[in-house]
Amino acid sequence: MKTDYFKNKRVTVMGLGLLGRGVGDARYLAEAGAAEVIVTDLKTEAELSASVEQLRDLSNIVLHLGGHQEEDFKNRDLVLVAAGVPLDSPYLEIARTSGVPLAQSAALFAQISQVPIIGITGTRGKSTVTHLIHHVLTYVTGEDVLLGGNVRGRSNLQLLKDAHDDSICVMELDSWQLQGFGWAGISPTVAVFTNFMEDHLNYYTRGGKTYEEAMLAYFNDKSQIFQHQEDSGVFITTPEVYEWIKRGLPEFEPKQEFVLADASVLPEDMLLAMPGEHNRLNAALAYEALLAVGLNEDEIFDGFATFPGVPGRLQLVGDINGVRIYNDNNATTPTATAAGIKAVAQGKNVVLIMGGADKGLDLMPLEEAIAEQVKAVVLLAGTGTDRIKEQCAGEVVSTLEEAIKLALSKAERGDVVLFSPAFASFGMFNNEYERNDLFMKLIGEYEAE
């Protein structure tokens, strides 16, 4: 591994953020011998104070916050681009014109470490499949299997400290991180593509793209997970994604091993901690990936049996007076919330807490699930809520505390309170993690009473 990769380099980190990834990446660059690390973000120093404080002790880090400066993208050895930066950003164009390489941290980790990577993407299910694969590998091997990509608070460059010749890394990869794999012309050794549905249209319709153009651009980013695999690679997906490949990449001819998976590969009596048919498909995809790296069926099923589930993904977090409480905070699309409703409902017994910032997605699957299996809806304020509130006849509240109190007042013994927002967190919260943590804190306080 190239331990001196960043030595004496001048690097611009575009996007610091508050989730810890940008801080960890900047620290790694500075401590790895970079001559100068310029950290730039549109947010101000006051808005980013929690992150800024963690970098104060590093003399080779320079902060340019509250906006970007053109000079920070010229005469540099590298620009490290945060996930979600628009590809048409004029600052990225300045870097390209100046001959400055662009990189994303997940792909950069893969390039530098050269360790085998199991990469997982998809509109839904990628977190569950990622954590399930990581859990089973750790359980079976007893080793510290690396976990990275789109994982809360985890810097991909910091993973370089723990990577060695025998390492394997499991990475959840969103469409933005996969842009970086495309720039580098690489793909994971084992690639899993769970499904493809509409999402992030507020990002992909930029520049006046039509719906069809936006969906194809989104799919193109996702497809970087398998497009650059070598002959020895394994690509695991579903028949539905394969139809998108034929549509979006008609010239694509796989040279890697190509596996189409469905839930039929699992024993019918196999128990999972995670409810819902969609999670059986997630487990089937994980099963194929684990086979691809050499585990046998008995090892895989033993690992599955000990998997506790993923925080914020249909997570059973409490029982209050006979009412089961599920945290599905990470469901940020209408289809994800619809799937969550169907997974936990037993008749029309769900009290749903939802709402937030609109992403311009189709609401019909959610409206149908609400009509069939939801007895009451409590709505958090937001632009997405404004679109759906009349159709679901929900009551809008201004805080999550009010939402939980109202939902519990509407629920009876045997009912389910499902927190599954269906929309983005922005507006009422800084990010989905803040929303998740507050929900868990408030439920904990109810249970303690």
Euclidean distance between CA atoms 431 and 410, whole angstroms: 28
Q: Which amino acid is at 371?
A: A
Euclidean distance between CA atoms 302 and 117, whole angstroms: 23
Confirm if 107 and 183 have CB atoms less than 8 A apart: yes
When pLDDT is averaged across residues 190-219 and rounded to a whole number, the result is 91
Tell me: do 77 and 111 sit in the same domain.
no
Statement: residue 209 has pLDDT above 80: yes
**2 assigned to some structural domain:** no
82, 103, 124: which is the final residue of a domain?
103
Statement: residue 449 has pLDDT above 70: no
Q: Residue 71's closest CA among 10, 123, 122? A: 10
When pLDDT is averaged across residues 431-447 and rounded to a whole number, the result is 90
Q: Which amino acid is at 298?
A: D
Tell me: do 285 and 347 sit in the same domain.
no
Statement: residue 1 has pLDDT above 60: no
**49 assigned to some structural domain:** yes
Give the pLDDT band of residue 448 (cuts 50, 70, 90).
Answer: low
Structure tokens at 333: 């699309």
Tell me: do 254 and 170 sit in the same domain.
yes
Q: What's the total number of domains in the chain?
A: 3
**439 assigned to some structural domain:** yes
Confirm if 306 and 139 have CB atoms less than 8 A apart: yes
**273 assigned to some structural domain:** yes
Tell me: do 325 and 346 sit in the same domain.
yes
Tell me: do 423 and 292 sit in the same domain.
no
Tell me: do 99 and 117 sit in the same domain.
no
**3 assigned to some structural domain:** no
How does pLDDT run across 149-198, given as a tens digit for each residue? 998 888 999 999 999 989 999 999 999 999 999 999 999 999 999 999 98
Tell me: do 280 and 401 sit in the same domain.
no
Question: What residues are paired with 378 via a beta bridge?
Answer: 353, 395
Considering the chain, what percentage of its residues have pLDDT values greater than 70? 99
51, 86, 103: which is the final residue of a domain?
103
Tell me: do 168 and 275 sit in the same domain.
yes
Euclidean distance between CA atoms 52 and 22, whole angstroms: 10
Statement: residue 432 has pLDDT above 90: no
Q: CATH number of the domain that 86 lies in?
A: 3.40.50.720
Residue-level pLDDT at 19: 80
pTM of the predicted model, to two decimals? 0.85
Tell me: do 68 and 143 sit in the same domain.
no
Q: Of 159-163, 302-306, 385-389, 427-431, where does mean pLDDT reach its minimum?
A: 427-431
When pLDDT is averaged across residues 18-42 and rounded to a whole number, the result is 94
Structure tokens at 419: 């927190």
**1 assigned to some structural domain:** no
In the chain, how long is the greatest CA-to-CA distance? 65
Q: Residue 374's closest CA among 395, 340, 345? A: 345
Q: CATH number of the domain that 376 lies in?
A: 3.90.190.20
Tell me: do 59 and 195 sit in the same domain.
no
Tell me: do 97 and 147 sit in the same domain.
no
Rounded to 5 degrees, what are φ and ψ at 202?
A: -65, -25
Tell me: do 186 and 69 sit in the same domain.
no
**155 assigned to some structural domain:** yes
Statement: residue 207 has pLDDT above 90: no
**4 assigned to some structural domain:** no
Residue with tokens 């520049």: 207
Q: CATH number of the domain that 206 lies in?
A: 3.40.1190.10
Edge-to-edge strands, sheet with 190-193: 146-149, 169-172, 117-121, 190-193, 234-237, 257-260
41, 68, 103: which is the final residue of a domain?
103
When pLDDT is averaged across residues 336-351 and rounded to a whole number, the result is 94
Q: Supply the range of the domain harboring residue 41.
A: 10-103
When pLDDT is averaged across residues 349-355 and rounded to a whole number, the result is 96
Q: Which amino acid is at 329?
A: N
Give the pLDDT band of residue 2 (cuts 50, 70, 90).
Answer: low
Confirm if 164 and 157 have CB atoms less than 8 A apart: no
How does pLDDT run across 230-287, given as a tens digit for each residue? 999 999 999 999 999 999 999 988 899 999 999 998 988 887 877 888 889 999 999 9
Sign (positive or negative) of CA dihedral 38, 40, 46, 52:
negative
